[in-house]
Chain A
């Protein structure tokens, strides 16, 4: 976590704070996908408000996107920006894993 703290936390970097481009692959509204969407939405709103783009891809509607991104598991989150690319699969039961993947400080109130 210390690894990413500087970029996210330093006060004077607010303007230069990284913008996030996220793609979440889901399968309709099956439970794992629904859970992942809601957890991700909460984390983004509380940490990344105003500086993220989230694209939700339903693999059954756009399987080509799944092929292109090698998404075999659902749900899968791909953090495309900022680099390096990070991939998290699952319903984010352990939010810390997600928060860490986004390079954010772990907070108590998120779970």
Chain B
């Protein structure tokens, strides 16, 4: 055993490229860049309820289905329980057992077992060794190893048995997963020890935040392979374990393509010809400014051109959205009937962000839309916090960008100042086109105004344009006439107005300086007081910390606040 320790503590020389064993688990092989290290040991950490048993079992089961026989040793659950749990996921374990492709070993130690003197795991080795020969087994998962190890009195014994087991597994060339629950009796030295034993270490983390479970997977070590250390969301649902890989931002993104109509000729003009296909469009505005109408107009336009659109709704049902926009002259019904327009509506609280994402992805793969509308991204934090929302949106955006799908994010602002939060959010750097809808007080009346804050790759107008929503639709009027008229005539007000315009633009160019923002906030406060808009209470709140340049989008998502050493005390 001493020899084993030395051998394991020195890094193995990887003279040949690392061979990998596919897990055949959706998404996981992408994250692992091919699979688990073949013939090596992977340590899988996870608390109860994290799905580690399932992942271990699925690794063996899917291996069996794909011609690699495997052994599963259960130290915690009975074999019958396993078969039943598996059946609920649609897995037919008995069929694989009959085919001698799968062997389930009940490795539970009877609780009344007495111990006296020294012993070892050679019984397990004998069984696995015999079965391996009999079945030509290539993979093995030992679940809840720490339960078996409880029988040993001293850390030294645990270490020596683990080395014996690991050495044997590697000599036998088995691709192995050893699952371990985070320390209860075995404290952190063991965690490090287990990690040192594995060529690959995966951590599963199921957290409940804001009453929604979020599940994350991290590969904290992969000897000889360069997998990212991001956190990846996963779900356990029909069919089993499913992880969501994300690509490095931009790496596989399709370039912006040709211009496509927003559905409103005048908006197309302002945009310098329309939206760009495959772009990320942000449509932000206060309640009642007609964001959903604008989004639906675009959807209807695309559907009329024969392009499929997926509408992800978080607030209202399909019928409610269709009904609302119909009164503004947008008829979605023919597109719903033709199937070109597809709604997926779920309350944000209904499930975790991962599941929202998976469901959206399922629909994207099923419907194959050319455009996706998310209404509204401001509801997403209710999936389990701001960070979950951010990750959901980034992943969705990545998935769409990789497929050349246009994404239109609707953002409902609660106060006129909220767009600064967007600009502080890393999403802003991903936004290609930003359209801002606002109220403007002019000549004693409040009007709706539209402004294009950003339109990547197009010469666009920054000018504010007044618009109205008629029963014939969204109509943009001639150039905004408010300035210079009676009530806005003073120099000061004009200066404030210019400040607002300028600051808005700057905010989206990520270089907004704090001073300017303070000034802007003041100006906004005054402006809002002047027009008596609701929502002015939020002005300035929460945005001070939000003004960071959006850089390193996904790295920030994956690593933020959860460094690799976080779980250790």
Contact B129 A90 (CB under 8 A): no
| Nearest Cβ on chain B to A2's Cβ, whole angstroms | 18
The reply on A74 being an interface residue by CB < 8 A is: yes
Measured in the bound complex, the distance between the Cα atoms of B118 and A31 in whole Å is 9
Known contacts A70-B106, A70-B108, A72-B109; is A94 also within 8 Å of B117 by CB?
Answer: yes
| Nearest Cβ on chain A to B179's Cβ, whole angstroms | 16
- The stretch among A3-11, A15-23, A46-54, A81-89 that forms the contact with chain B is A81-89
* Chain B residues, Cβ within 8 Å of A31: 118
Measured in the bound complex, the distance between the Cα atoms of B119 and A97 in whole Å is 14
Measured in the bound complex, the distance between the Cα atoms of B129 and A63 in whole Å is 9
- B119-132 vs A, CB cutoff 8 Å, 1 = contact: the mask equals 11111101101110
Known contacts A63-B129, A67-B105, A87-B110; is A73 also within 8 Å of B123 by CB?
Answer: yes
The 8 Å CB contact of A25, one of B109, B110, B116, B123, is B123
Pick 22 A–B contacts, CB within 8 A, sort by A.
A27-B126, A31-B118, A60-B122, A63-B127, A63-B129, A67-B131, A70-B106, A70-B108, A70-B110, A73-B109, A87-B110, A88-B116, A89-B115, A89-B119, A90-B116, A90-B117, A91-B117, A93-B117, A94-B117, A95-B116, A97-B115, A97-B116
Contact B127 A66 (CB under 8 A): yes
| Nearest Cβ on chain B to A101's Cβ, whole angstroms | 6
Measured in the bound complex, the distance between the Cα atoms of B121 and A66 in whole Å is 12
Residues 372 to 386 of chain B near chain A (Cβ within 8 Å):
none
Q: For residue A31, which residue of chain B has the nearest CB?
A: B118
The 8 Å CB contact of B122, one of A59, A98, A101, is A59
Measured in the bound complex, the distance between the Cα atoms of B106 and A72 in whole Å is 9
Seen from chain A, the residues whose Cβ lies within 8 Å of a Cβ on chain B are 25, 27, 30-32, 35-36, 59-60, 63-64, 66-67, 70-76, 86-95, 97-98, 100-101
Contact B117 A36 (CB under 8 A): yes
Measured in the bound complex, the distance between the Cα atoms of B124 and A72 in whole Å is 4
Which 4 pairs across A and B sit closest by C-beta, in order of nearness? A93-B117, A63-B130, A91-B117, A59-B126
| Nearest Cβ on chain A to B233's Cβ, whole angstroms | 35
Known contacts A72-B109, A74-B120, A89-B151; is A97 also within 8 Å of B114 by CB?
Answer: yes
Seen from chain B, the residues whose Cβ lies within 8 Å of a Cβ on chain A are 105-110, 112-124, 126-127, 129-131, 148, 151
* Chain A residues, Cβ within 8 Å of B105: 67
Q: For residue A67, which residue of chain B has the nearest CB?
A: B127
* Chain B residues, Cβ within 8 Å of A59: 122-123, 126-127
Contact A35 B121 (CB under 8 A): no
Contact B106 A63 (CB under 8 A): no
Contact B117 A73 (CB under 8 A): no
Contact B126 A88 (CB under 8 A): no
Known contacts A70-B110, A87-B110, A87-B112; is A92 also within 8 Å of B127 by CB?
Answer: no
The 8 Å CB contact of A30, one of B113, B122, B129, is B122
The 8 Å CB contact of A60, one of B115, B120, B126, is B126
Contact B129 A74 (CB under 8 A): no
Beyond the given A70-B108, A70-B110, could you list 16 further A-B residue pairs with CB under 8 A, ordered by the A residue number?
A: A27-B123, A27-B126, A32-B118, A35-B118, A60-B126, A63-B126, A64-B130, A67-B131, A70-B106, A73-B109, A73-B121, A87-B112, A89-B115, A90-B117, A95-B116, A97-B115
* Chain B residues, Cβ within 8 Å of A74: 119-123, 126
* Chain B residues, Cβ within 8 Å of A60: 122, 126, 129-130
Contact A88 B113 (CB under 8 A): yes
Measured in the bound complex, the distance between the Cα atoms of B130 and A77 in whole Å is 21
Measured in the bound complex, the distance between the Cα atoms of B120 and A21 in whole Å is 24
Contact B114 A89 (CB under 8 A): yes
Q: For residue A58, which residue of chain B has the nearest CB?
A: B126
Contact A63 B131 (CB under 8 A): yes
Measured in the bound complex, the distance between the Cα atoms of B108 and A30 in whole Å is 24
Measured in the bound complex, the distance between the Cα atoms of B126 and A86 in whole Å is 22
Q: For residue A90, which residue of chain B has the nearest CB?
A: B117
Measured in the bound complex, the distance between the Cα atoms of B151 and A90 in whole Å is 10
Q: For residue A70, which residue of chain B has the nearest CB?
A: B106
Measured in the bound complex, the distance between the Cα atoms of B114 and A100 in whole Å is 10
Contact A92 B117 (CB under 8 A): yes
* Chain B residues, Cβ within 8 Å of A97: 114-116
Measured in the bound complex, the distance between the Cα atoms of B110 and A73 in whole Å is 12
| Nearest Cβ on chain A to B112's Cβ, whole angstroms | 7
Contact A32 B127 (CB under 8 A): no
| Nearest Cβ on chain A to B79's Cβ, whole angstroms | 11
| Nearest Cβ on chain B to A22's Cβ, whole angstroms | 14
| Nearest Cβ on chain B to A8's Cβ, whole angstroms | 18
| Nearest Cβ on chain B to A92's Cβ, whole angstroms | 5
Measured in the bound complex, the distance between the Cα atoms of B126 and A109 in whole Å is 35
* Chain B residues, Cβ within 8 Å of A94: 116-117
Contact A32 B124 (CB under 8 A): no
The 8 Å CB contact of A72, one of B116, B117, B123, B131, is B123
| Nearest Cβ on chain B to A94's Cβ, whole angstroms | 4
| Nearest Cβ on chain B to A69's Cβ, whole angstroms | 9
Contact B112 A32 (CB under 8 A): no
* Chain B residues, Cβ within 8 Å of A89: 113-116, 119, 151
* Chain B residues, Cβ within 8 Å of A100: 114
Measured in the bound complex, the distance between the Cα atoms of B113 and A94 in whole Å is 15
Measured in the bound complex, the distance between the Cα atoms of B116 and A93 in whole Å is 6
| Nearest Cβ on chain A to B240's Cβ, whole angstroms | 26
Measured in the bound complex, the distance between the Cα atoms of B132 and A63 in whole Å is 11
* Chain A residues, Cβ within 8 Å of B121: 72-74
Known contacts A70-B108, A72-B107, A73-B151; is A90 also within 8 Å of B118 by CB?
Answer: yes
* Chain B residues, Cβ within 8 Å of A76: 119, 123
Measured in the bound complex, the distance between the Cα atoms of B119 and A87 in whole Å is 13
Known contacts A88-B114, A101-B114; is A73 also within 8 Å of B127 by CB?
Answer: no
The 8 Å CB contact of B117, one of A35, A70, A86, is A35
Measured in the bound complex, the distance between the Cα atoms of B78 and A70 in whole Å is 12
Known contacts A70-B106, A70-B107, A72-B107; is A32 also within 8 Å of B126 by CB?
Answer: no
* Chain A residues, Cβ within 8 Å of B127: 59, 63, 66-67, 72
